[in-house]
A and B are shown apart, each in its own frame.
Chain A
Amino acid sequence: MAFLLRSISRSADGREIVRTSKVSDDLLKVGRDPECDIRLNDLAVALHHATIEQVSATRVGVSAEMGMSIELDGSNTQFGQIDLAIGGTIKIGPFLLRVMPPELGGEDVPIVIQRADSAEVLDKFDTRRFALQSVMPGKRLMAWSLTLAVLAIFLVWPIMSFYQNRDQADRMAGGFHPDSLWSTGALSQSHAALGSNCQACHVTPFEPVRDNACKTCHVSVHDHADLSRMQRATPQLGGLRRIQQSIGTWFGQTPGRCVECHTEHEGPQQMVATPQQFCADCHTDLRARLADTRLAAASDFETGHPEFQPLVLIQWDGNAPRFERVALNRRPLEQSNLKFPHALHLGALGGAAQAARANQLGARLECASCHTPTQDGTRFERVDMERNCGSCHSLSFDENGGTIRRLRHGSPEQVIADIRGLYRAGGPAFPPELSPGARGRPGDANQVRAAVQFARARAGVAARGERAIHAIFSAPRGTCYECHNIVAPPPGTLNYRIRPIQFTSRAGPGQPESGRYIEHGWFDHRAHQLVQRPGQRREEGSAACLSCHTGVRTSQRAADLLLPDLQSCRACHGGERTRLPVPSTCAMCHDYHMDRGVPAELLRQRTRGQRRPSTVAAACGGRR
Chain B
Amino acid sequence: MASRGLRTGLGDGTAHESFLRYRRYRWFKIAAILSLLLVIVYLVVDVHPRHNGGSWLGYGLGTIGAGLIVWLSLLGIRKRAMTRGRWSLKAWTSAHVYLGLALIFFGTLHTGFQFGWNVHTLAYVLMMLVILSGVYGISVYALLPQGLSDSRSEMTGPQMIEAVGSLDKQIQISAQPLSDEDSAIVLGSLGEDPFGGGLWSRLTGSHPRCGNMRALEIMRVRHDDSSGKEEQAIEQVLQLLEKKAAALQRLRGYIRRRALLEVWLFVHIPLTFVLFAALTAHIISVFFYW
Contact = CB atoms under 8 A, between A and B. Distances in A.
Given A147-B276, A154-B278, A181 B263 contact: no
Contact of A132 (B49, B50, B162, B263): B263
A77 B173 CA distance: 28
Contact of B116 (A135, A179, A184): A184
Interface string B180-196: 10011011001001110
A143 B130 CA distance: 13
Nearest to A203: B289
B151 interface: no
Give the interface residue-count category, chain B: 35 or more
A149 B178 CA distance: 56
Contact of A139 (B48, B269, B280): B269
Interface in B45-73: 48-50, 52-54, 56
Given A124-B193, A151-B280, A155-B281, A43 B186 contact: yes
B123 to A, nearest CB: 9
Nearest to A144: B273
Contacts of B290: 202, 206-209, 251-253
A595 B134 CA distance: 59
The interface residues of chain B, by DSSP majority, are classed as: helix
A455 interface: no
A139 B183 contact: no
Interface residues of A, number: 56
Contact of B270 (A43, A135, A146): A146
A182 B259 CA distance: 37
Interface string B24-41: 000000000000000000
Contact of B50 (A127, A147, A251, A266): A266
B273 A146 contact: yes
A275 B48 contact: yes
A185 to B, nearest CB: 6
Interface string A187-230: 00000000000100010011111000000000000000000000
A134 interface: yes
B157 A130 contact: yes
B143 interface: no
A440 to B, nearest CB: 100
Nearest to A137: B266
Nearest to A46: B180
Interface string A119-147: 00000110101111111100110111011
Given A131-B262, A132-B266, A183-B116, A150 B52 contact: no
Given A132-B258, A132-B262, A146-B274, A47 B180 contact: yes
A461 B30 CA distance: 110
B106 interface: no
21 contacts: A41-B176, A42-B172, A43-B190, A127-B161, A130-B258, A132-B199, A136-B199, A143-B270, A144-B273, A154-B281, A155-B277, A181-B119, A182-B118, A182-B285, A183-B116, A185-B116, A202-B288, A202-B289, A209-B290, A263-B48, A266-B52
A578 B64 CA distance: 35
A533 interface: no
Contact of B114 (A143, A185, A208, A252): A185
Nearest to B290: A208
Given A147-B273, A272-B49, A182 B254 contact: no
A139 B173 CA distance: 42
Interface string A217-258: 000000000000000000000000000100100011100000
